[in-house]
Amino acid sequence: MGRGLDEIEGGRGLDALIDTGGVRTQGTSTINEIPLSQIEANPNQPRRDFDPESLQELANSISEIGIIQPITLRQVSDDRFQIIAGERRWRASQMAGLTAIPAYIRTIADENVMEMALVENIQREDLNAIEIALAYEHLLDADGMTQEKVSERVGKSRTAITNYLRLLRLPAQVQIALQKKEIDMGHARAILAIDSPSLQIKLFNEVLKNGYSVRKVEEMAQMLKNGEDVNSGSKKIVAKSKLPEEYNALRTHLSEFLQTKVQMTCSPKGKGKITIPFANEEELEHIMAVFDKMK
């Protein structure tokens, strides 16, 4: 019960954000007791998952002391209201057997609803990474905002927004795991370094199986990206080299010449890079000596 109450009391209300300039909208606001039967969820609400245990705790708290923080609604018809912020409290109120709930009623343009819900939840850190990414995508696609505009509205850097949007390029099962917090955003970003979806899934499965750190996943992803096979326990992830046969021959020749395992990547357009690793100072001195002789 305490956790649910703390979450209500500790969060900043949406109107507090509006008053302090967090979101600038035009419209009016009133507070009323609204029948639960007249309230509907916002289909574009960025938050998708509601933990049943936490929801029951909040319902118990509401049964005992009532609603602390009013939810925020917009009127969509004479007797229908849509939730801008507070769907969790609305759901818990139904579980608690309430028939009405205190709510701020705002007059606001449709295009601002998603923005306000997103800002509220980001400020409270209620959303998981995929929910945030989907919300950013909605603002960009449905509302026609630029990344600069989204950055300005939610108070996040363009780089942060780009990093979230990139998560939507991951295979579905990786996105689901991230949403369930089975992996964190650091793992997901490391997996994104690999272009091949099949290799992404293989690496992801090994992360789940072995509980690798973000640093370890970054190292494994880099090796796969460079065309190297990766050992994971008793299993090996085989990197599928995209190098044309003539490039493989050149890599082999260069490795023999320098007496070290040269790594090479190449795009379909022929653009790439050569990496020359060394294990210690002696190997580095040998490589430099070879280059000196070439002069």
Each of the 295 residues of the chain gets a pLDDT tens digit; together they read 333 333 333 333 333 322 223 333 333 455 778 999 999 988 776 666 778 888 898 899 888 777 877 888 888 888 899 998 888 899 999 999 999 988 878 765 555 666 676 667 666 666 788 888 877 877 787 667 788 888 887 778 889 889 999 998 888 788 888 888 899 999 999 999 988 888 888 899 999 999 999 999 999 998 888 777 888 877 888 776 556 667 777 888 888 888 887 877 765 556 677 888 777 888 888 888 888 887 6
Cβ distance 64 to 103 under 8 Å?
no
* 17: nearest Cα among 131, 132, 170, 121: 121
> Has this prediction a pTM greater than 0.85?
no
The letter for the amino acid at 213 is S
CB neighbours (10 Å) of residue 51?
10
* 129: nearest Cα among 179, 173, 169: 179
Supply the pLDDT for residue 12: 31
Contact residues for 13 (Cβ-Cβ < 8 A; gap 6+): 69, 70, 72
Supply the pLDDT for residue 1: 36
* 86: nearest Cα among 140, 180, 94, 252: 94
C-alpha torsion 18→21→22→24, nearest 10: 70
Out of 87, 115, 120, 206, which one is annotated catalytic?
A: 87
Supply the pLDDT for residue 3: 35
Q: Measured between alpha carbons, how far is 90 from 144 in angstroms, rounded to an integer?
A: 30
Helix axes 113-124, 129-141, angle to 10 degrees: 160
Supply the pLDDT for residue 188: 94
Residue with tokens 């769907």: 87
- Tokens read off for 5: 């109450």
Supply the pLDDT for residue 10: 32
Beta bridge partners of 235: 232
Indicate if 87 belongs to the active site: yes
- Tokens read off for 208: 């789940």
Supply the pLDDT for residue 39: 94
